[in-house]
Structure 1
Amino acid sequence: MAKHLDLEEQEQLDQIKHFWSQYGNLISWVLIVVFGSFAAWNGWNYWQRNQAAKAAALYDEVDRAALAKDADRMQRALADMQAQFASTTFASQAALQAGKTLFDAGKLPEARAALAWAAEKSSDDAYKAVARLRLAALDIEAQAYDQALKTLEAPVPKSFEPLVADRRGDVLMAQGKADEAKAQYQTAWKGLTNRTEYRRLVEVKLASLGVDVSTLAPTTEVAR
């Protein structure tokens, strides 16, 4: 009986050896790929978390520079953020923050450069839209009206369309084109909901142009 079991065991062992000689190499490579992919996935997640933490720390420096109204410090921090973490939302937020701080400091070319970077390089369409709205405001300030209109031509998320229409109305008013401005303000008013505080500002602009908003078409629920 023992001899029979020994023979059976030997037979099974021979089968295993034969199977491994045929498929062992393939199995080994499959396991390497599977476990390698798992390790790479964990490594990628760790890298992303690590990068996010570093970007957040650098954004904190941008925020502190803004609170201190230190334009030079702000520019250095923003340059570091753009060089190291350009693809993160922190970089977009930093550029928008820098645009305001630099504008307040009277550094208009630098403010424009920060906002232009966000408008072109941001990974988030909403941040791009905000940057373009602020760029258009700078253009109005500089009386560069054609440039402002060009800035506002870029497509934006639907929720930003009323805000773009309002800013376009501001440009047209500055150009003395009251009728065209009125049409843009009406578009903006219709696109904003009655729960939006911004809508009241548009109402004031329309009222100054002799428009009674109660005569306008019902609101389209767009911007919330």
Structure 2
Amino acid sequence: MNEMLSDDEQVERIKAWWKANGNSIIAGVVIGLGGFFAWQGWGSYQEKLAGEGAEAYELFAQAAFDNDAKKTDDALAQLQSNYGDTSYSRFAALELARQQVNAGSLKAAEKTLSNLRNQSTDSALKPLLEIRFARLLVAQKRLDEAGKLLDSINSDAYAAETAAIRGEIAYQQGDMSGARAALEEAQQKGSNDENINYLLEEIGAQESS
């Protein structure tokens, strides 16, 4: 199971919320990030949503959740062309990566996130980008690279998710004791990721067999 690929219920809730609040500028950003990325501790970004570029982002978000590829591409191109140095463009790139992952285009998602990591100068956004890139590496079985990337993350806000990813890496490497320790640490730090429970059950089954 992979957290990045198992968020249908959350996406459906966000879609319903969008229908009820489609004219809200803030809704555009919540929708843009909700499906693929955990949006914990990022309330400060909502304050940046007033002003130029908000409408363009809303158009992108609506097209993305309507699964209209042409309108999504056109809206993203407009954002990158006119608002390339703003949060709107970065949020749109995050949403594009989410779509690419859900479509199974992991290499395309890697390229999207790599470009965003290289271009972004937002120190507050960096830990989130590194976490998502690490998950993408795990999805591609590039476990050593993912582990090294996690070593570079120094953010208490993402300590639980970092531990959860370490647990998944250890599990895939066959280190059941290391996986259990990391996954339990993630739970202790507040993670409620369903994937943790699944892996712990799998570890328990292997240990009892």
TM-score range relative to shorter protein:
0.5 to 0.7
Alignment of 1:1-224 (within 5 A): 53-125=51-123, 127-192=125-190, 197-198=192-193, 201-210=195-204
- Unaligned 5+ runs, structure 2: 1-48, 205-209
Question: In the TM superposition, what whole-angstrom CA distance separates every residue of 1:41-92 from its partner, at most 9, and x where no partner exists?
Answer: xxxxxxxxxx953321221232123123234543443344334334432222
The structure-2 alpha-carbon separation of the partners of 1:56 and 1:158, relative to structure 1 and needing over 3 Å to count, comes to same
Counterpart position of 1:20: none
The structure-2 alpha-carbon separation of the partners of 1:207 and 1:108, relative to structure 1 and needing over 3 Å to count, comes to closer
Larger Rg computed on CA atoms: 1
TM-score in terms of structure 1 length: 0.57
Aligned-partner residue type, residue 192 of structure 2 = E
- Unaligned 5+ runs, structure 1: 1-50, 211-224
Question: In the TM superposition, what whole-angstrom CA distance separates every residue of 1:162-196 from its partner, at most 9, and x where no partner exists?
Answer: 1011012112211222222222213212211xxx6
C-alpha distance in structure 1 between counterparts of 2:106 and 2:176, whole Å: 28
C-alpha distance in structure 1 between counterparts of 2:195 and 2:73, whole Å: 33
Give the conservation status (yes or no) of the 8 Å contact 1:136–1:148.
Answer: yes
Give the conservation status (yes or no) of the 8 Å contact 2:106–2:140.
Answer: no
C-alpha distance in structure 2 between counterparts of 1:145 and 1:54, whole Å: 41
Give the conservation status (yes or no) of the 8 Å contact 1:169–1:182.
Answer: yes
Q: CA deviation at 1:207?
A: 4.6
Alignment: residue pair count: 157
Aligned-partner residue type, residue 183 of structure 1 = A
Give the conservation status (yes or no) of the 8 Å contact 1:166–1:202.
Answer: yes
C-alpha distance in structure 2 between counterparts of 1:61 and 1:113, whole Å: 23
Structure with bigger RCO (C-alpha 8 Å, 6+ apart): 2
C-alpha distance in structure 1 between counterparts of 2:108 and 2:156, whole Å: 29
Runs of 4+ aligned residues of structure 1 deviating over 4 Å after TM superposition are 123-126
The structure-2 alpha-carbon separation of the partners of 1:206 and 1:80, relative to structure 1 and needing over 3 Å to count, comes to same
RMSD: 3.0
C-alpha distance in structure 1 between counterparts of 2:69 and 2:100, whole Å: 6
TM-score in terms of structure 2 length: 0.60
C-alpha distance in structure 1 between counterparts of 2:149 and 2:74, whole Å: 27
